[in-house]
């Protein structure tokens, strides 16, 4: 089991064939097993549907089955000999923007489905914008239902051109266009004989081969301290003074012997050892979960950060960020007091100003906006009660992303992406 994992999000409206596509990927990779398929066939028949409804595989909740819509993100798993895949199957409706944001936050790649007959819709643009906002580095525009446009190269090129035009306004790292028919399987797993003009890979081939290892930040060392390991085993004198700083590497490559700096104190030390339960390791990189032992006895606790002395994140209380608002009942307004959880640190936060609300369909900025409602996205300034150690979200998703929590309801009400800080 030496393969790696690719996390992907799928987007597209209900009728664009998303469920069919996922169904086919799962089916052709043997990830739908007979009893699941039997259950879906039975339910489809019971409902009087003519064809087996593959959406019933992914719509796992009673309410989803009743209403025939996808309510929440579902995670699906499949593997080929080359790679393992985690699919975040996200609903397409605008009222589920927060679910798209949720699914995209952990994805390396997004597949956006477009119906070849209808071309780009408002939703396609919105999905493309949201995935790029969340810094999903690889985007695939899967132009589906090619069978219904006679596998027309001209139609494919038209949509491709239109989208390329739109994408020039977005921060897209890597963009791939694939003409497919999810229903018939054209260019999904195997290359289609029906589109000899298309010289690119099938969707699965692309997913298996897209290079994601370099997407992580391996330059700027960031180690948020998560847990201090202090074994209290009186039987073992060697452990009496043991103080290990456990955490998951959020950026850069740490090596034993490296000079490091502790934030917020600014004190420096050196990494004595990097340890795991399986022994010492020479290097640690994202997303390894390791424990650092330092040469000096510093007072370090959860919420602090270890970095390199000449490469620090911003130590900031004033934060400028894009926020996706997720609360049903309450709007985000200047003056709101909330909690922010950023890496392993939680602090009180005051919303100072809403700079603008972004129309996720037109990308128009409304600078007169006074609040953000559910599923709206805007740029806001925040002031935290304690400094956070932040990077621009563009530079590092883990040290640039945060959640906002309502202290009254304990609900997660916002997702933030740092634009700037001081």
Partner 1 sequence: MSQVDQPALGRYQLSQLDFLEAEAIFIMREVAAEFDRPVLLFSGGKDSIVMLRLAEKAFWPGAVPFPVMHVDTGHNFPEVMEFRDRRLGEAGVRLIVASVQEQIDAGKVTEPTGRWASRNRLQTAALLEAIEEHGFDAAFGGARRDEEKARAKERIFSFRDEFGQWDPKVQRPELWNVYNTRTERGEHIRVFPLSNWTELDIWGYIAREQLELPNIYLSHERRVFERDGILLADNPYVTRGPDEEVFETTVRYRTVGDMTCTGAVRSTATELDDIIAEIAATRITERGQTRADDRSSEAAMEDRKREGYF
The residues with which 121 forms a beta bridge, in sequence order, are none
Tell me: does residue 111 bind partner 1 (CB under 8 A).
Answer: no
Return the range that interacts with partner 1 (CB under 8 A); candidates 76-84, 110-118, 185-193, 379-387.
76-84
C-alpha pair distances (Å), 333 with each of 95, 216, 283, 323, 355: 20, 34, 45, 12, 11
> What binding mask, one character per residue, do residues 138-177 give for partner 1 by CB under 8 A, x or -?
----------------------------------------
Residue among 339, 343, 337 nearest 389 (CA)? 343
CA distance 139 to 414: 24
- Which of 193, 213, 235, 329 is the binder for partner 1 (CB under 8 A)? 213
CA distance 411 to 55: 29
The residues with which 417 forms a beta bridge, in sequence order, are 322, 401
Return the range that interacts with partner 1 (CB under 8 A); candidates 58-66, 144-152, 189-197, 260-268.
58-66
Residues 331-350 that bind partner 1 (CB under 8 A): 339, 341-344
- In 3-state terms, what secondary structure has residue 235? coil
Return the range that interacts with partner 1 (CB under 8 A); candidates 95-103, 177-185, 313-321, 375-383.
95-103
Tell me: does residue 264 bind partner 1 (CB under 8 A).
Answer: no
Q: What token pair was written down for 113?
A: 């489905």
Nearer to partner 1, 3 or 311 (CB): 3
Tell me: does residue 196 bind partner 1 (CB under 8 A).
Answer: no
Nearer to partner 1, 61 or 385 (CB): 61
Total chain residues near partner 1 (CB under 8 A) = 80
The number of residues making up the chain comes to: 422
CA distance 279 to 270: 19
Residue 126 · residue 12 · CB < 8 Å = no
- Which of 115, 127, 397, 421 is the binder for partner 1 (CB under 8 A)? 397
Return the range that interacts with partner 1 (CB under 8 A); candidates 175-183, 198-206, 223-231, 354-362.
223-231
Give every CB contact of residue 410 below 8 A, 6+ residues apart in sequence: none
Tell me: does residue 60 bind partner 1 (CB under 8 A).
Answer: yes
Return the range that interacts with partner 1 (CB under 8 A); candidates 144-152, 158-166, 243-251, 347-355.
243-251
CA distance 278 to 257: 20
Residues 13-42 that bind partner 1 (CB under 8 A): 33-36, 39
Q: What token pair was written down for 257?
A: 């012997």
Strand ranges (DSSP E) for 108-173?
Answer: 109-115, 138-144
Tell me: does residue 410 bind partner 1 (CB under 8 A).
Answer: yes
CB of 75 to partner 1, least distance (A): 5
CB of 223 to partner 1, least distance (A): 12
Nearer to partner 1, 114 or 405 (CB): 405
CB of 243 to partner 1, least distance (A): 11
CB of 46 to partner 1, least distance (A): 9
Residue among 110, 311, 290, 108 nearest 214 (CA)? 108
Nearer to partner 1, 51 or 410 (CB): 410
* CA 55 to chain CA centroid, nearest Å: 23
């Amino acid at each position: 089991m030496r393969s790696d994992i690719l996390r992907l999000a799928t987007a597209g409206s209900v009728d664009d064939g998303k469920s069919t596509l996922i169904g086919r990927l799962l089916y052709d990779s043997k990830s739908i097993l007979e009893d699941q398929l039997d259950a879906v066939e039975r339910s489809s028949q019971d409902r009087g549907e003519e064809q087996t409804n593959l959406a019933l595989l992914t719509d796992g909740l009673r309410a989803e089955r009743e209403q025939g819509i996808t309510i929440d993100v579902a995670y699906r798993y499949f593997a080929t000999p080359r790679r393992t895949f985690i699919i975040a199957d996200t609903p397409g409706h605008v009222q589920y923007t927060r679910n798209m944001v949720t699914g995209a936050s952990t994805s390396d790649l997004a597949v956006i489905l477009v119906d070849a007959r209808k071309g780009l819709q408002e939703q396609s643009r919105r999905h493309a914008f949201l995935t790029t906002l969340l810094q999903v580095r690889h985007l695939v525009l899967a132009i589906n239902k090619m069978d219904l446009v006679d596998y027309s190269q001209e139609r494919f090129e038209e949509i491709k051109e239109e989208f390329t035009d739109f994408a020039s306004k977005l921060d897209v790292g890597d963009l791939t266009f694939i003409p497919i028919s999810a229903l018939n399987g054209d260019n999904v797993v195997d290359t289609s004989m029906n589109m000899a003009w298309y010289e690119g890979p099938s969707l699965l081939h692309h997913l298996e081969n897209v290079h994601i290892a370099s997407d992580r930040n391996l330059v700027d060392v960031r180690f948020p301290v998560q847990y201090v390991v202090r074994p209290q085993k009186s039987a073992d004198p060697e452990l009496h003074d043991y103080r290990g700083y456990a955490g998951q590497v959020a950026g850069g490559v740490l090596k034993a012997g490296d000079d490091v700096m502790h934030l917020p104190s600014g004190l420096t030390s050196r990494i004595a050892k990097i340890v795991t339960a399986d022994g010492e390791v020479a290097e640690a990189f994202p997303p390894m979960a390791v424990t650092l032992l330092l040469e000096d006895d510093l007072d370090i606790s959860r919420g602090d950060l270890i970095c390199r002395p000449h490469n620090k994140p911003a130590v900031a209380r004033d934060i400028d960020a894009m926020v996706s608002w997720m609360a049903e009942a309450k709007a985000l307004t200047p003056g709101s007091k909330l909690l922010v959880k950023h890496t392993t640190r939680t602090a009180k936060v005051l919303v100072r100003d809403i700079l603008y609300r972004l129309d996720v369909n037109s990308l128009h900025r409304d600078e007169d906006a006074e609040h953000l409602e559910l599923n709206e996205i805007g740029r806001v300034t925040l002031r935290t009660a304690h400094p956070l150690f932040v990077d621009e979200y563009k530079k590092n998703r883990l040290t640039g992303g945060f959640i906002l929590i309502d202290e009254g309801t304990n609900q997660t009400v916002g997702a933030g992406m740092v634009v700037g800080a001081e």
